[in-house]
Structure 1
Amino acid sequence: MKDKQQNTIAKLKVGQTFPLTIKRLGINGEGVGYFKRQVVFVPGALPGEEVVVEATKVQPKFSEGKVKKIRKSSPFRVQAPCPIYEQCGGCQLQHLAYDQQLQEKRDIVIQSLERHTKLKVDKLDIRPTIGMEDPWNYRNKSQFQVGQQKSGAIIAGLYGLDSHRLIPIQNCMVQHPLTNKVSEEVRKILEEFQIPIYDERKQKGIVRTIVTRAGFNSGEVQVVLITTQKEMPRKKLVMAEIQKRLPEVKSLVQNINGNKTSLIFGEKTIHLSGEEVIQETLGDLNFELSARAFFQLNPVQTVKLYDEVKKAAALTGKEKIADAYCGVGTIGLWLADGANEVRGMDTIEAAITDAQKNADRHGIKNATYVAGTAEHWLPQWVEEGWRPDVVVVDPPRTGCDRKLLDAIKKVKPKKFVYVSCNPSTLAKDIDYLSKDYKVEYLQPVDMFPHTAHVECVVLMSRVEK
């Protein structure tokens, strides 16, 4: 039987065209279908569509293809409004009507649970995805790579889908208008002053990336120039020109990254002019954001996300809360008025400094922040007689560290509120905790419209044994 299946799969070759019915969306926003029992991923195809596909990659367990022809179109297919949508790769779902995006994102969460857990997924309370009223211009931060053409013209944008070709972007439809305006003007200034641009192949040049962050409510903008070295010709003139043309830029920073790496930021950051931070407001809270501080990229949806965290925690004023991966303290401070005490921890010391400043500036006396891992602090606090009733986590895409989950099992908080940006790692972590914690419900939240990303707030409660 196995040999027969391998022979069937071997018949599919790169360049071959074949008909395919798309069954669902994959975790990266691509259409998923099955050809002779083998899964095929097709970017741009939508569930319910019948398409003719050309195989672009054939692997033992899966294949990839591109749409050659749509025989039967989805009723939810729309014309993507962005002129460079198919080149850029920053968005994956502009060709899908927004209301249907929300339904498909809920399905992506369901698929991850089915694939990575032993739970009876059809019995779980998985709620409709919370979307945006206006799903455009929502990103408060852009990170545009810069490159130089043979003519000397400087371009700034993102690398194309599955390529290392830089796609120039002057007006991204999901970016806040201020980040578009400022990034484009900084690009022009670098070009006018003939600043050497980093060439990755030759590993020569200075400026690598323009990072722009805008405060939705404050209107303040921070610009970070990522460079390969501290020295930059005509640096003072460039700084002065930015301040002259862009009065909304309140903070100008240089970050040095001379390594051959795909990481944007290096370790050393230099404050050039203006303030070291910009201000941003969420609800009644005002936050100071330094260049490397993590802050949610969609402030409008962040308020909805954090309100869902508060709803899940269902605080009475008596609870002790541990806020793991706390960043600049946003979630913990959001919950502080309903809790007895909040203690947050993060491995990035600059974020902890910002978190404590944010608590102090708001006169929040019941929130304290420490540098280090949750797996270190949680057991120590319990030993000292402080046991959290609620643990909140908002980890990176890799999910929670296994040591943290083990610490949760030992510390035994009554509630565990998990804020996830990756359904696959969320499902794996839920499965690991499933003997000790029961899933009460999952609430997907659309933080990044027109992309395949989906966030989720999950309430888990301790299983009494």
Structure 2
Amino acid sequence: MTSSYQQQLDAKVERISAQFAEFNPPALEVFESPENYYRMRAEFRIWHTEDDLFYAMFERDADNNKKVIRIDEFPVADKSINALMPKLLSAFKADSLLGARLFEVHFLATLKGEMLVSLIYHRHLDESWEPAAKALAEQLNIKLIGRSRGKKFVVSDEYVVEELQVFDTKYQYQQIESSFTQPNAEVCQKMLEWACTAATQSDKDLLELYCGNGNFTLPLSTKFRRVLATELAKSSVYAAQWNIEKNNIDNIQVARLSAEEFTQAYNGEREFRRLQEANIDLTSYEFDTVFVDPPRAGIDDATLKLLQRFERILYISCNPDTLYDNLQTLSQTHKITKFAMFDQFPYTHHVESGVLLEKI
């Protein structure tokens, strides 16, 4: 491990340990990232000059003006993205159907080896673009999407299938273009193993809020009799259902509800046709654990009160500040018995945290 990576990791550990000291957590478990080639997603602007084009990013100078930074390699991103970048650039330069007024390129890679590339244009795309794009996709063995205002052309699929290993089991995940997925796959596998270890084995049921595409849902299902997972975004619900079927799991139901809506349904304040259509009977569940992985804004007050009713709360957080705020409420009824930090985003201030809370 290089000293620069160790220094930034140590600084995060010190910051998180100090921030949460008042809750008297156990020793912080720290999960490192690879130092390079760890990010499975990357987005670049395409910068056009009179006789050239290249990948670009931007930074602000001392006067807050944008400065164009040419990107020829990007060691933050997975090796497969770095290998593909120059090949795509050559194709853009060689064929105006592919390169003319190309604005952005988005990469989505997988540990399994699949690659999806989205090309965003500032010109009208028509059917003449498709043959060139299809030939490029076949040549480079990638999936390709073209976008312009009001148009979307999909060459083969608009998703990749990732494979994540949790202990001795491999899980297949459909990851859809523009939908959220954990960007650091190596650290994601560590997060999944930590969550499964924290959950322990139960003969009761798990409630999961904000389930996304089922990233945590699938491996956690091995620890419980049944799982009810909730998610509002339709594309994520469809991906979660695809993943459940693909992995031959039969003890998970997915409800298309927000956390706030589930709280209302569970408290008997509202009835939702979406539950009836999915043949979900809330009264048939006996939850002893709830798992949450909320957005950066954290959890609303009504849902926090709901969480306080369960024996165990597993909380994965992408924002230590909102986790800290939420713990002001949850620590009234629960204590932290496991505490973890996952370095999903090396060399940035961002931190993913995990806590297991058990009823006092």
Matching of residue 100 in structure 1 with residue 7 in structure 2: yes
Matching of residue 242 in structure 1 with residue 136 in structure 2: yes
Look up the match of 2:54.
Answer: 155
Secondary structure of the structure 1 residue equivalent to 2:191: helix
**Whole-Å Cα distance in 1 between the matches of residues 157 and 20 of structure 2?**
45
Look up the match of 1:341.
Answer: 226
With CA pairs under 8 Å and 6+ residues apart, which has the higher RCO, 1 or 2? Answer: 2
Look up the match of 1:368.
Answer: 253
Given that 1:190 and 1:238 are in contact with CA atoms closer than 8 Å, whether structure 2 keeps it comes out as no
Look up the match of 2:117.
Answer: 223
The percentage of counterpart residues that share the same residue type is 21
Given that 1:206 and 1:232 are in contact with CA atoms closer than 8 Å, whether structure 2 keeps it comes out as no
TM-score for the superposition, normalised by structure 1: 0.66
Secondary structure of the structure 2 residue equivalent to 1:252: strand
Look up the match of 2:30.
Answer: 129
Given that 2:335 and 2:358 are in contact with CA atoms closer than 8 Å, whether structure 1 keeps it comes out as yes
**Whole-Å Cα distance in 2 between the matches of residues 211 and 182 of structure 1?**
12
1:212 CA displacement: 0.8
1:333 CA displacement: 0.5
Look up the match of 2:160.
Answer: 278
Matching of residue 321 in structure 1 with residue 222 in structure 2: no
Matching of residue 416 in structure 1 with residue 313 in structure 2: yes
1:443 CA displacement: 0.8
Look up the match of 2:144.
Answer: 252
Look up the match of 1:358.
Answer: 243
Given that 2:98 and 2:133 are in contact with CA atoms closer than 8 Å, whether structure 1 keeps it comes out as no
**Whole-Å Cα distance in 1 between the matches of residues 239 and 196 of structure 2?**
22
Secondary structure of the structure 2 residue equivalent to 1:275: coil
Given that 1:195 and 1:207 are in contact with CA atoms closer than 8 Å, whether structure 2 keeps it comes out as no
Question: Which sits farther off after the overlay, 175-184 or 238-247?
Answer: 238-247
> Number of matched residues?
339
- Give the helix-richer structure, 1 or 2: 2
Matching of residue 432 in structure 1 with residue 329 in structure 2: yes
Question: Which sits farther off after the overlay, 436-445 or 205-214?
Answer: 205-214
Provide structure 1 residue ranges, at least 5 long, that are not aligned to the other structure. 1-75, 79-95, 115-119, 198-204, 259-267
Given that 2:207 and 2:287 are in contact with CA atoms closer than 8 Å, whether structure 1 keeps it comes out as yes
Cα deviation 1:52-81 (Å, max 9, x = unaligned): xxxxxxxxxxxxxxxxxxxxxxxx9x7xxx
Matching of residue 398 in structure 1 with residue 297 in structure 2: yes
Cα deviation 1:263-313 (Å, max 9, x = unaligned): xxxxx7835212332211011101122212322111111111111111221
**Whole-Å Cα distance in 2 between the matches of residues 271 and 359 of structure 1?**
28
Look up the match of 1:193.
Answer: 95
**Whole-Å Cα distance in 1 between the matches of residues 260 and 306 of structure 2?**
6
Look up the match of 1:441.
Answer: 338
TM-score for the superposition, normalised by structure 2: 0.84
**Whole-Å Cα distance in 2 between the matches of residues 315 and 136 of structure 1?**
35
**Pair member with larger Rg:** 1
Matching of residue 300 in structure 1 with residue 186 in structure 2: yes
Matching of residue 212 in structure 1 with residue 119 in structure 2: no
Aligned with residue 175 of structure 2, among 260, 276, 289: 289
- Against the structure 1 CA distance between its residues 220 and 408, is the aligned structure 2 distance closer, same or farther, given a 3 Å change threshold? same
Cα deviation 1:219-264 (Å, max 9, x = unaligned): 11101123456625952254034224412x0x222345x5xxxxxx
**Whole-Å Cα distance in 1 between the matches of residues 12 and 244 of structure 2?**
34
Look up the match of 2:275.
Answer: none
1:169 CA displacement: 1.5
**Whole-Å Cα distance in 1 between the matches of residues 119 and 339 of structure 2?**
39
- Against the structure 1 CA distance between its residues 334 and 375, is the aligned structure 2 distance closer, same or farther, given a 3 Å change threshold? same
